[in-house]
Amino acid sequence: MTSFILRRLALSVVLLFIISIISFFIVTLTPGSPYPWGELNPKISAEVKANFRKKFHLDRPLPEQYAFIMKDLFKGDLRSIKDDRPVMGKIMERLPATLALNFTAILISLSFGTLLGVYAARNAGRWQDIVCSFVAFLFIALPGFWISYLIAIILVKGFGVPILGTHSYGIAFPNHLAAYLDTIWHLLVPATILALGGIASQSRYLRATMIGTIREDYIRTARAKGLPEETVLYKHALRNSVRPLVTGIGLLLPALISGSVIIESIFAYPGMGRLGYEAVLERDYPTLVALNFVVAALVLLGNLLSDILYAAVDPRVRLE
């Protein structure tokens, strides 16, 4: 197990390096003015522009710019063009909220995705399976911003249900537990909408794998032992079909954060997605570089953790 972890760790470091290069190039290579006030604005003197370029190292060759930005990033010195606050600081502020939201969304995706996937596999070919497929594709085809908007406006303006932000405004809670539950409540609606795509993809992957697993000999053995069908499916078949769930998490994470860019804005949720959206509007490119990088790094970490989890579940993988 340890050698497996070490190998995965080494691979992750390589990937992290490539991620940093991609992040850097995306932003600095795109043509277009890096200045927030426009290239041709006559009010800004050449000197101010030169100073700006110097401050953000824009006058140096690209590899040096990369080195500077990476150094600043890791030292926590990278500063936002918008308000000159350290970018890492801004990201860290939003991190807990983002983690809470995405973790919840992953839980919802995995649990409902598993239920749906097993149900579809069990009834493969029959109408129940077709309905599950249809529902799955419906979830993926649903435009996130559209359904979020509908739900947000209808619930808030139509029924007066407080779901925006992280806690209900203007209400005092009798104790910590109530306040905590209120926060969870606010988390639930955006997390569920975020999770819809995940439920769909997880159920599809799982269904495909399960259909194959169910045909294996050891499932016949399990039935021959007299086990009830639920046990056969959920204990024997599922544990052997975990691979797509794990790789699915790897693909799910970046998709969740993508989705959260719009959904956080609509639900006024103070996470990294919203920070990203604001940074895009303001062309705050140090923030954009850092944000893309941090998110990709987090996804990498998530992949590493889920691979380790998978190796814990399936002993055959440790030998790979």
Partner 1 sequence: MLKIENLKVGFSTPEGVNPALRGVSLQLAKGESLAIVGESGSGKSVTALAITRLLQTPPAVYQGGSIFFEGQDLLKASDAELRKVRGGRIAYIFQEPSTSLNPVYTIRSQIAEMIQLHRPDVHDIDSEIIHWLDAVGIADPKSRLHDYPHQFSGGMQQRVMIAMALSARPDLLIADEPTTALDVTIQKQILDKLSQLQRDLGMAVILITHNFAIISGLARHVAVMYRGEVVEYGESRQVLREPRHPYTKALIACIPRLGDHRRRLPTIGSLQQ
Partner 2 sequence: MSNDSKITPSTPTGRILRRFHADPLARISVLIIVLFALFAGGTALLSSFNLNWPFDPNITNLEQKLEPPSSHHWLGTDNLGRDVLSRMLHGSSISLTVGLIAVFVSLTIGIVVGAAAGFFGGITDQILMRSVDALLCFPTFFLILTAVALLGPSLLNIVVVIGLVSWTGTARLVRAEFLTLRETEYVKGARVLGQKSWTIITRHILPNAAAPILVTAVLGIPDAILSEAGLSFLGFGVQPPQATWGNIIADGKTYLLDAWWLIMFPGLAILIASLSFYLAGDALREAAESRN
Footprint on residues 152-191 left by partner 2 (CB under 8 A):
153, 157-158
Print burial letters for 195-229: b (CB count within 10 Å at least 16), e (below 16): bbbbbbbbbbbbbbbbbebbeeeebeebeeeeeee
Nearer to partner 1, 117 or 190 (CB): 117
Q: Which residues within the stretch 231-290 sit at the binding site for partner 2 (CB under 8 A)?
A: 250-251, 254-259, 261-262, 273, 276-277, 280-281, 283, 285, 288
CB of 247 to partner 1, least distance (A): 17
Under DSSP, is residue 177 helix (H, G, I), strand (E, B) or coil? helix
Contact 213, 241 (CB under 8 A): yes
User: Does 314 help bind partner 1 (rule: CB under 8 A)?
Assistant: yes
CB atoms within 10 A of CB 131: 13
Site for partner 1 in 239-258 (CB under 8 A): 239-240
Tokens representing residue 187 in the block: 């988390």
DSSP state of 170: T
Q: For the CB of residue 310, give the shortest distance to partner 1 in the complex, in Å.
A: 11
User: How far is residue 26 from each of residues 84, 98, 151, 293, 311, measured CA to CA in Å?
Assistant: 22, 23, 34, 11, 34
- The set of residues, in sequence order, having a beta carbon less than 8 Å from that of 305 and lying 6+ positions away, is none
* Single residue of 11, 115, 227, 297 touching partner 1 by CB under 8 A: 227
225 binding partner 1? (CB under 8 A): yes
Asked if 236 touches partner 1 (CB under 8 A), the answer is yes
Closer to partner 1 by CB, 167 or 318: give it: 318
Binding-site member from 218, 230, 301, 305 for partner 1 (CB under 8 A): 218
Q: Pick from 18, 221, 230, 305: which binds partner 1 (CB under 8 A)?
A: 221
Q: What angle do CA 291, 306, 185 make, to 5 degrees?
A: 65
Q: Which is nearer to partner 1, 78 or 238 (CB)?
A: 238
Point out which residues bind partner 1 (CB under 8 A): 216-218, 220-228, 236, 239-240, 313-316
